[in-house]
Amino acid sequence: MLDERSQDELNRREFSRRMLALGAGAAFLPAAALGRRGGGGSHAPNPIRIDRQRFLRSFNGLDDFGGTPDGGAHRPAYSEADREARGYVLELMRAAGLETRVDAAGNLLGRRDGTEAGRAPIMFGSHIDSVLRGGRYDGPVGSIAAVEVAHTLADHDVATRHPVEVVVFQNEEGGLYGSRMMNGEFSRDELTIEASSGYTIEEGTRLIGGDPDRLEEAVRRPGDVAAFLELHIEQGSVLYDRGLDVGVVEGIVGIRWWDVEVTGFANHAGTTPMDARQDALLAAARYVEAVNRIVRRRPGTHVGTVGRIDAEPGAPNVIPGRVTASLELRDLRMETIAELHEEIRAATRQIGSETGTEFSFELTVDLDPAPVDDEIQELVDASAQALELTTLRMPSGAGHDAQSMARIAPIGMIFVPSVGGVSHSPEEYTRDEDMVNGANVLLGSVLALDAELS
């Protein structure tokens, strides 16, 4: 038999679900959260909205730090542009009334207290670092929207039950470093890895205000975060092609990366007969084709990519004796990734036998799939529908910081359309209206979570 407190909790949760299902948006929220102080009226109140102009102005302001003439962004982690952009975001957080700090992992955090003592925070945010000569939307949309949501709560004097915590994770593009430092999965062996900006992870973390000697202080345990939300561009073309407004993410794919080395024998290109060669580059070319063939012949949504290849010694008159390459496999099922990898390894053993070369594989990134909490999916979907936006339940084919946070808290992800499905490129583009829609869905989802979470 339920006690009185449990029954009240069930009644409150059922009421909020019904209001969202009716499309009433934030009708179940306190008056302050509705942008009004009370009063009569027979119609349902409208949910509050973010400040569109302020949000877009803040977002466009990031172009001053690593923006490129072709409309993209070159802001690799730990670079001068990244460090300056972090300072800019900290100022935006302070302007939103947040209490700011940099944790030992180098993550930017802005906090606003809740009204009920002892509650874990609702955390939301993304990242602002970019790939080399990439796009301006991947990461910053979710980061600046998170700051804007907090600013909107302050504008309307919304008192949330839970603390809210805005986060901008460091070095997402290099391997989810900031979020993995937060969830405790980061290994200190990784501190010596060199980032694309030329700094090691240890050097870069110190440059941005973190302390690699005290990383344990940045770790959050299960229960330390009530829920995590991330708004992000889709980076694919599904929403754009179908003319839909919002993607409600059901799960984030698992990702594995390998460094692949092909060893042959370097020799004179003019004096070595074709049938006496141990050409590592020829073997690597066959490996690239094998990856494509093996991955494509299996039905499913999995993908496989060889995105890097380097031949040594790299001279036109020398047969390549060594090649370093990569392998990336992604799917919602780690079993599929493992099976594909074994098929690829079998293919390389055959290639090696036929070309007189040897292949070795070293696993460098191992990220498990991350399911998205069912109830949070419902709240995100309902928040979008309350704004009369069209939605689609869909997987995420890209990795995100939410993937790391799923190890310690229930997560939700909100996608907005990427025009043409282009990403990690200066041609990456998301329309202003779609960014604003996403930020408003994030706002509604935060408020709904605050009301729903026990």
Q: Tell me where in the chain the CATH 3.40.630.10 domain(s) lie.
A: 52-252+369-452
pLDDT at position 46:
54
pLDDT at position 434:
98
> Which of 384, 418, 51 has its CA nearest to residue 242?
418
Amino acid residing at 355: T
pLDDT more than 90, % of the chain:
85
Q: Tell me where in the chain the CATH 3.30.70.360 domain(s) lie.
A: 254-367
| Rounded distance between C-alpha atoms, residue 434 and residue 212, angstroms | 38
Residue 187 in this model has a pLDDT that exceeds 50: yes
Cβ-based neighbours of 116, under 8 Å, separated by 6 or more: 161, 162
42-51, 237-246, 363-372 — most confident range: 237-246
Q: Which residue has the higher pLDDT, 243 or 19?
A: 243
Q: Show the tokens assigned to 395.
A: 């997987």
| Rounded distance between C-alpha atoms, residue 165 and residue 306, angstroms | 38
| Rounded distance between C-alpha atoms, residue 120 and residue 182, angstroms | 15
Of 35-49, 61-75, 113-127, 202-216, which gets the smallest average pLDDT? Answer: 35-49
| Rounded distance between C-alpha atoms, residue 277 and residue 213, angstroms | 50
pLDDT at position 137:
98
pLDDT at position 47:
73
pLDDT at position 301:
86
pTM over 0.95: no
Q: Which residue has the higher pLDDT, 119 or 30?
A: 119
Q: Show the tokens assigned to 311.
A: 């031949």
pLDDT at position 365:
85
Residue 6 in this model has a pLDDT that exceeds 50: no
The superfamily (CATH) of domain 52-252+369-452 is: Zn peptidases (3.40.630.10)
β-sheet bridge partners, residue 169 = 127
User: Which is it for strands 246-252 and 370-371: parallel, antiparallel or unpaired?
Assistant: antiparallel
pLDDT tens digit string along 217-276? 999 999 999 999 999 999 999 999 999 999 999 998 999 999 999 999 999 999 999 999
**CA 30: distance to chain centroid?**
31
pLDDT at position 207:
98
Q: How confident is residue 425, by pLDDT bands cut at 50, 70 and 90?
A: very high
pLDDT at position 278:
98
| Rounded distance between C-alpha atoms, residue 418 and residue 414, angstroms | 13
198: left (phi over 0), alpha (psi -120 to 50) or beta: left
pLDDT at position 399:
82
pLDDT at position 44:
39
Residue 17 in this model has a pLDDT that exceeds 80: no
SS3 23: coil
pLDDT at position 66:
98
| Rounded distance between C-alpha atoms, residue 293 and residue 187, angstroms | 34
pLDDT at position 40:
33
pLDDT more than 70, % of the chain:
90
| Rounded distance between C-alpha atoms, residue 382 and residue 19, angstroms | 9
The average pLDDT across 63-72 equals 98
Architecture of domain 254-367: 2-Layer Sandwich (3.30)
pLDDT at position 11:
47
pLDDT at position 45:
47
Q: Which residue has the tokens 């399911």?
A: 371
pLDDT tens digit string along 405-421? 999 999 999 999 999 99
The average pLDDT across 351-377 equals 94
The average pLDDT across 91-107 equals 98
pLDDT tens digit string along 141-181? 999 999 999 999 999 999 999 999 999 999 999 989 999 99
